[in-house]
Amino acid sequence: MNSSSAVENFPKAAVVETRLSGYDLLLHPGLNKGTAFTEEERDTFALHGLLPPHLGTLEDQLERRMKAFDNQTSSFERYNFMRDLQDSNETLFYALITRNVEKFLPIVYTPTVGEGCQRFSETWLKPRGLFISYPNKNRINQMLADARYDKVRCIVVSDGERILGLGDQGAGGMGIPIGKMALYTALAGVHPEHCLPVLLDVGTDNEERLKDPIYIGWRNKRVRGREYDDFVEAFVSAVKSRWPHILLQWEDFAGSNASRLLERYRDQLCTFNDDIQGTAAVATATVLGAVTATGIPMKEQRIGFLGFGSAGIGIANLLLAAMKESGLSDEEAHKQFYAVDRYGLILEGQTGLRPDQARYAKKKSDLKEWTLSNPEQVSLEDVVRNAKLTVLIGVSSQAGAFTEKIVREMAKHTDRPAIFPLSNPTSKSEAAPADLMKWTNGRALIGTGSPFPPAMIDGKAVEFAQTNNSYIFPGLALGILTSRAKRVSDSMIMAAAKALAALSPTQKNKEASLLPPIADSRQVGLKVAEAVGKQAVAEGLSGVSNEKSFERELREYVWEPVYVPYVRLGD
């Protein structure tokens, strides 16, 4: 985040008041308007000569930047172009995205942000956010104390260990908090000054990064165990002290750390984990869209998973709650789930199972009627054939794991199989949607983690739902901030999922995509925020008194990327 205590008022001011002038004003990405500074502002802020004489508008600048963007020759070049723009003129950056979400989302977020993280060291130029490295563990309070962070209301933090499906990227993982916070603003209107990306640099086990002479992170193997926990505790304690009412989002923490840290801190401050809860909400909304499309009630769905780490468990837990809301008991609902991990179907008694995985383990007696190719390791194909799955969800990062044989087997047992290869980036997807349509004779209901082009089916271009967390986490954050929620409850996550499901085009056309167009993401964010905030009020978790107060707060808060007049403050 680039900001300054010289900025006195935001986010919804009719004018901006600032003490900055000249180069200092132009170099401030939150205040720079480039050629759009008026003649009067150029007089007032000593800008004559620093700008060309042309008096431009935001519309002029959008046209110019769009042309320059289109002239870039690769997605990675476009990613760098947008990062440079964000660091020079935030209003223009966000205006481009909000007016062209479908075009820019794959560049500033998945899948291109993955390459941005891998190549972060070669492109890093300007400070944005905070790198808190392990050697600076005793300086955390000092780093957070800077006056430029006085207005911060929300943080996205990562330790860079599980970046998308790409693994440990060390300090390069900062690309994810930066990208996530950009979508807080672009898709939900959270003011950029309120957002702080943070990277906890505890080293990396990625040998390629450690041997890279230009790697910008702490060149050390990852700190683990008690030292790691103490470091995270020091960070959280410092954050709580600096901002008692902060929203903290955990992002791309690996394995058990993700669920463990969420459970440890979820009752200490207002916090959520997007990989667990955001993924769960968008996946649940997509399944609910499939329920509408197929007419098969939720309680009759048979749901299989490939990959059952923190993301898979998070999805299963929220879908389990939806199953129970449909009338099933906890025991009955659990019977509808089949979790396949690296050693096959999760079974009771397997070594190394975490407690949250063990809840979904099957008894060997449950399989006594099954025909198995290998009773010692029950494969996904065995599960699909014997359980007759109606829904198949992939969060495994195993490219191509949904094979033609598996998909055709699934299509034998259900008229419209719902298949969700959710692993990111595109290179890690369990299947390409065009293949899924081919193998099911066009009957599959599909949601993907990353964007895929439409496929020609019977001479018609078919769009696929992008089951992307960007439908959820920006609106979730906005609802939390504007309701002044003290905690993030499971019911608030479910409210987000239901709000998105209510916007599914299948509500009007059962042949339509399961989720609304990506182009509508900003409107979706506002609907999700409204549902989340109202749920916080209903549960007594809100800092506002009632729904009407929350609705007013929501209307007044949302920031739009437009230029407003500037007034100079005296010294």
| Residues annotated as catalytic (active site), given as ranges | 109, 180
Question: How far is Cα 177 from Cα 7, in angstroms, rounded to an integer?
Answer: 24
Question: How far is Cα 141 from Cα 131, in angstroms, rounded to an integer?
Answer: 13
β-bridge pairing 154-158 and 247-250: parallel
Question: How far is Cα 491 from Cα 81, in angstroms, rounded to an integer?
Answer: 39
CB 8 within 8 A of CB 17: yes
CB 171 within 8 A of CB 507: no
User: Interhelix angle for 90-99 vs 58-70, to 10°?
Assistant: 70
Tell whether the torsion through CA atoms of 508, 514, 518 and 520 is positive or negative.
positive
CA distances from residue 361 to 202, 325, 349 in whole angstroms, order as listed: 34, 22, 9
- Of the chain, the end-to-end C-alpha distance in Å amounts to 24
CB 241 within 8 A of CB 216: no
CA distances from residue 561 to 17, 37, 133, 254, 533 in whole angstroms, order as listed: 17, 15, 33, 35, 23
Q: Which residue has the tokens 């990852």?
A: 222
